[in-house]
């Protein structure tokens, strides 16, 4: 069973003015499509074709660099599209907000920690809000297309929010101004989706 490029739940221009349509189109139809196709090529004819992407990533130390890079890219972008929405922004509520306040002290402190992780990731990578096995929420960042599901990750757990800080995610609109892109991300976060992933 080949992995399929997921469709977006909104149009390429739906996140304007925060994230521009041209970047969304290239990011989804070229970059994410490329990771998906390359993942399928890398696992073709192996028993990995019968595994979920979570299973594959959890055993990534035993697998090829191509599967690590493209399997990560496949999963990470699927999460990224889903944790954004044209109706996003604001703050979480309920159990998720309570857990953020418990583990970070306040929403504003969490926001600062996550933004710092995104801004200070050198080169290409991702910032994450991670639910660890014990239920605790932590912020982390990973290089390239790695993520917290991978058995090689420094901070392991379930990523419930992720921000792509590869230049391909922001360069057309923001050029070198990664902090401005990070600020705009907060305006489109789909907290309902993040809360759903927190509860699961």
Residue 75 or 198: which CB sits closer to Mn ion? 75
DSSP string for 88-104: --S---HHHHHHHHHHH
Q: Which is nearer to Mn ion, 28 or 131 (CB)?
A: 28
| Nearest distance in Å: CB 50, Mn ion | 27
**CA distance linking residue 110 with residue 56, whole number of Å:** 30
Give the binding range for Mn ion (CB under 5 A) out of 52-60, 111-119, 154-162, 163-171. Answer: 163-171
Stretch that binds Mn ion, among 10-18, 84-92, 122-130, 169-177 (CB under 5 A): 169-177
If we measure between CA atoms, which residue out of 193, 198, 190 comes closest to residue 135?
198
Question: Rule CB under 5 A: is residue 164 a binding residue for Mn ion?
Answer: yes
Options 13-21, 118-126, 134-142, 165-173: segment touching Mn ion (CB under 5 A): 165-173
CA 114 to chain centre: 12
Ranges within 16-35 binding Mn ion (CB under 5 A)? none
What is the radius of gyration, based on Cα positions, of the chain? 16
Least distance to Mn ion, CB of residue 162, Å: 10
Nearest approach in angstroms of CB 77 to Mn ion is 6
Encoded one letter per residue, x for contact with Mn ion by CB under 5 A and - for no contact, window 120-159 reads ----------------------------------------
Shortest distance (Å) from residue 169 CB to Mn ion? 5
Q: Which is nearer to Mn ion, 51 or 69 (CB)?
A: 69
CA distances, 71 to each of 77, 127, 147, 154 (Å): 10, 17, 10, 18
Burial of 143 from C-beta contacts in 10 A (0-12 / 13-18 / 19+): exposed
Q: Where are the alpha helices (DSSP H) in the chain?
A: 21-26, 33-43, 53-58, 65-82, 94-104, 107-120, 171-174, 178-185, 191-199
CA–CA gap between residue 162 and residue 117 (Å, rounded): 11
How many residues of this chain interact with Mn ion, rule: CB under 5 A?
3
**Shortest reach from residue 95's CB to Mn ion, in Å:** 29
Given the complex with Mn ion, which of 100 and 169 has the nearer CB atom? 169
What residues make contact with Mn ion under the rule CB under 5 A?
A: 164, 166, 169
């Amino acid at each position: 069973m080949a992995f399929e490029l997921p469709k977006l739940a909104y149009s390429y221009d739906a996140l304007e003015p925060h994230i521009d349509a041209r970047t969304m189109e290239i990011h989804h139809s070229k970059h994410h499509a490329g990771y998906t196709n390359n993942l399928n090529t890398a696992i073709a004819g192996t028993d990995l074709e019968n595994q979920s992407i979570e299973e594959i990533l959890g055993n990534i130390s035993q697998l090829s660099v191509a599967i690590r890079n493209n399997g990560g890219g496949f999963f990470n972008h699927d999460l990224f599209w889903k944790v954004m929405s044209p109706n996003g922004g604001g703050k979480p509520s309920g159990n998720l907000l309570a857990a953020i306040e418990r583990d970070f002290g306040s929403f504003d402190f969490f926001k600062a920690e996550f933004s710092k992780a995104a801004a200070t990731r050198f080169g290409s990578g991702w910032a994450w809000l991670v639910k660890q096995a014990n239920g605790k929420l932590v912020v982390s960042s990973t290089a390239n297309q790695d993520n917290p599901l991978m058995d090689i990750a420094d901070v392991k757990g379930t990523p419930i929010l992720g921000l792509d800080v590869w230049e391909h995610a922001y360069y057309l609109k923001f050029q070198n101004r990664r902090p401005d892109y990070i600020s705009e991300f907060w305006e489109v976060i789909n907290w309902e989706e993040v809360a759903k992933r927190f509860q699961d």
